[in-house]
Amino acid sequence: MYSYNKNKKKLNYMILIIMILVISIGYAVLNTNLNIVGTGTINNPTWNIHWENVQVKTGSVSASTPTIDTAKTTVNYSVTLTIPGEYYEFTVDAVNAGTIDGMVSVVSNKLNGTEITTLPNYLEYKVSYVDDIDIGPNHLLASGTSEKYKVHVSYKKDINVSDIPATPQTLNLSFSVTYVQSDTNVAPVPHPQTVYTVNLKDTSRPDKNYIRFNQVIPESITQYSSAQDVMAANGNKPFYLKHKLIDNVVTESYIEFVITEVMANNNPGLTAGTYAIRGLDTWDDVNNRCKSEYYDELNDKCNSIYYEYNKNVLQNAFGTSYCNEYEPNNFEYYCSVSNLEVYADSEGAVSANGNGLDCGVYSFGASYC
């Protein structure tokens, strides 16, 4: 709806109906090497950084719960992924219960004993902070605080037949982080800040009202700190823009919409809750088509990495009876009920409208209402 290229050819693709294959993700560990560097005399210092609070994400394949060893420095887990699309994900807290500030010194990710530079085409694996920020050198873990780590391993869903291993693969995955006593190089973890807006479009000054990726939000646009605040300021309309900022620069923009209990009660199949679909900057202004990393030349279409994700979000919120895919290209998905219509397409554009308000994120990464 909010994209530039509408003459896309229909995609011909093959759906893998069934895969009889087991990927055995073998014994995998998270190791923390608790090192202190430097010399000096400190009155009654304590150094105590350790793991706590393992929680497995709902939807993960069945497996034994990850365990923390008695020293609280190692997390052990083992999981088997059988078919494409299966995943295993859990979080664990790195806790500084001591009196000395720590910081990350060394981060290591290994596959079968070798530092990871590339992964097999069928595998997704990442250890990060829970908000997907990479763990990096000098990141602070202050005394009396904690950081939540996320471990995600999955058997990719959208892969070519040629990428599927012919035999079961045992993969030994290990991640380790070394914390040392903090010094002058220490840096705070760049966790995103979340802000909400309803930036009404002014056609005479569009640059002042668009919120662009990789730019600071213009001062003319009011930022709200909570979803409740932005809705209250805009007639309680059940949608608005949500942005993630790092160092005050926009890194992600979403349409967030609300299915209320009243809407769910009056429309069988709806599930009450708050849902977010992601917009993405996919457009190349010079070539007037998708950026090369998103362009599928064979099928002459843009392939947003969030399209399937957004479809799943819409289906979870609306069910299927209120949703449709546009023809003929089948890469534009929308749902509509009770004066609320929400839309996503494969070019990275998303939108919501109803009750006289229309908000969206264009495929060139600018959001507006």
Poorest-pLDDT segment among 164-168, 277-281, 304-308: 164-168
Helix, strand or coil, per DSSP, at residue 315: helix
Between 204 and 130, the more confident residue is 130
Is pLDDT above 50 for 241? yes
Cα separation, 191 vs 16, in Å, equals: 38
What integer pLDDT is reported at residue 75 of this predicted model? 85
52-76 per-position pLDDT tens digit: 999 988 888 877 788 888 888 888 8
Is pLDDT above 70 for 5? no
Q: Are 149 and 134 in contact (CB under 8 A)?
A: no
Reading phi first (left if > 0) and then psi (alpha if -120 to 50, else beta), residue 312 is in alpha
What integer pLDDT is reported at residue 22 of this predicted model? 38
Dihedral, CA of residue 284, residue 287, residue 291 and residue 297, to nearest 10: 150
Q: List the domains of the chain with CATH numbers.
A: 23-181 (2.60.40), 193-368 (no CATH)
Confidence of residue 35 (pLDDT cuts 50, 70, 90): very low
Poorest-pLDDT segment among 109-118, 268-277, 322-331: 322-331
Reported as half-sphere exposure (CB side, CA atoms, 13 A), residue 343 has a value of 21
What integer pLDDT is reported at residue 266 of this predicted model? 92
Is pLDDT above 90 for 357? no
What integer pLDDT is reported at residue 302 of this predicted model? 80
What integer pLDDT is reported at residue 6 of this predicted model? 33
Confidence of residue 194 (pLDDT cuts 50, 70, 90): very high
Q: Would you state the structure tokens that stand for residue 243, as one six-digit string?
A: 């942005």
Q: Which of 49-53, 81-85, 282-286 reaches the highest mean pLDDT? A: 49-53
What integer pLDDT is reported at residue 40 of this predicted model? 45
Q: Which of 69-73, 159-163, 229-233, 292-296 reaches the highest mean pLDDT? A: 229-233
Nearest to 369 by CA among 214, 194, 222: 222
What integer pLDDT is reported at residue 60 of this predicted model? 85
What integer pLDDT is reported at residue 201 of this predicted model? 67
User: Which residue's structure tokens are 């719960």?
Assistant: 65
Nearest to 198 by CA among 10, 367, 336: 367
Q: Which of 73-87, 155-169, 308-322 reaches the highest mean pLDDT? A: 308-322
Between 253 and 299, the more confident residue is 253
Q: b/e map of 82-107 (b: 16 or more CB within 10 Å)? A: eebebbbbbbbebbbebebbbbbbee
% of the chain residues with pLDDT over 70: 85
